[in-house]
Chain A
Amino acid sequence: MRNDVIARLAAANPVPAPAPVRERLPVRRVAVAAIICAAIAVPAVAFGGRLAGALGISNEGSTVPVTSVLPGQSQLDQALQDMHVGSTMQLLGTLNGVNFYAARTGSGHFCFAIDHVAAQYEKGVLCDLNEDNFPSADVQAITFPRGLQGIAADGVATVEFQDASGNVLDSAVVTNNLFVSDKRFEQGQAAYLVTKDAAGNVTSKRTLP
């Protein structure tokens, strides 16, 4: 009887299999997804335009204290500290209501934070911890993986998410190295991040996690 009870309870499991992801994701989750994104391995290729010690893009922004970047978001603030972002970041500007901040860590990795100023949870931190990180010949844009929200290298005019078959899922115009789109995707939906120059030529194509 008692073992039957456990079998009966197991049979009444309200979530018997791993659950599908919800369609609309609260963006506190982005921080985690972003951390995973940073784990992509990219080949180390020299990138001539990169400036040591600087962001490596034309938009250098204005310096702000890191404590003002994501006020009230203790977990994300802690993530910035864990990533060894220093005491300041560069405010690169605001695009479609999203503030963009960026910094290089002491070890030279590129980190950026976004803050949808009008939304409670639309905030996130992403660091590229690869050996040859943004901006480089292979890494001409860096974005959160669930939606086009990120920073592009000089010379990139548009960015696209493509599915595994190469179909364009979403695209965004780059303004002052920044891009934002409202569309969000499930993990795995977007397979590639593609960058294009002003003439529409593909300048890079990266596999997304």
Chain B
Amino acid sequence: MTDAQWMQRFDHLYSEHADAVRAYVRRRAPEDVVDDVVADVFLVCWRKLDDVPAQALPWLYSVAHKTLANERRRRLRRAHVPEDVSHEPEPVGDSALAAAFAELTDADREVLRLVAWEGLSLSQAGRVLKCSPVACRVRYHRAKSRLASRLAAASSFRPEPRGVTR
């Protein structure tokens, strides 16, 4: 690639995907780190432009996934209270769902987010998570089942509404 082609490709990738990458990061990290993480993702993209596949978004999400992990480790080293860095945006407007979602493992939450929030197919999610389509499909279905089970368990213990008499 000539310099001009290189720039053109990067420019295209940034204008096409920067908003999606930003949204991905905002769904997983506190607001004050979002800009830095997005910047680092595109710096990696710039430096590894030859490695970026034609379907770039899962690749960019994968870079963002690693960058966020690095950012969390960096913040953890600096934080006086570890809880300060564990903040993750949670499902909004549905407290039962948020509670059940929070009980899942990181791996379960991530595969569900990729499908439900990023709108990826399972094969695309597999590329982000570096797992085969089959393995990703299994992971996804198990995570979905665990979330459904937790929601069902929570609803079966729902307290009766106040003021209701029998």
Residues of A within 8 A of B (CB): 1-2, 5-6, 8-15, 17-19, 21-22, 25-26, 28-29, 31-32, 35-36, 38-39, 75, 78-79, 82, 107, 109, 121, 129-131, 209
Contacts and interface: CB of A to CB of B under 8 A. Distances in A.
Contacts of A129: 3-4, 6-7
Contacts, number: 112
Nearest to B89: A14
Contacts of B38: 29
Contacts of A109: 3
Nearest to A76: B43
A12 to B, nearest CB: 3
Contacts of A75: 40, 43
Contact of B117 (A2, A10, A130): A10
B117 A32 contact: no
Given A9-B97, A9-B101, A14 B116 contact: no
B26 interface: yes
A121 B32 CA distance: 14
Interface of B: 3-4, 6-8, 10-11, 14-15, 19-20, 22-23, 26-27, 31, 34-36, 38-40, 42-43, 46-47, 89-94, 97-98, 101, 112, 115-117, 144-145, 147-148, 151-152
A156 to B, nearest CB: 25
A104 B64 CA distance: 32
19 contacts: A2-B145, A6-B115, A9-B101, A11-B93, A12-B91, A12-B92, A12-B94, A13-B27, A13-B117, A14-B90, A15-B27, A18-B23, A19-B22, A22-B35, A28-B39, A28-B40, A32-B14, A35-B7, A38-B7
A17 B117 CA distance: 10
A109 to B, nearest CB: 7
B26 A8 contact: no
Nearest to B147: A5
Given A28-B39, A28-B40, A9 B147 contact: yes
Given A6-B115, A29-B35, A129-B3, A18 B92 contact: no
A9 B90 CA distance: 10
Contacts of A131: 4
A157 to B, nearest CB: 30
B2 to A, nearest CB: 9
A85 B128 CA distance: 33
B98 A12 contact: yes
Given A13-B116, A32-B43, A5 B11 contact: no
A13 B145 CA distance: 19
A107 B7 CA distance: 15
Contact of B3 (A25, A26, A107): A107
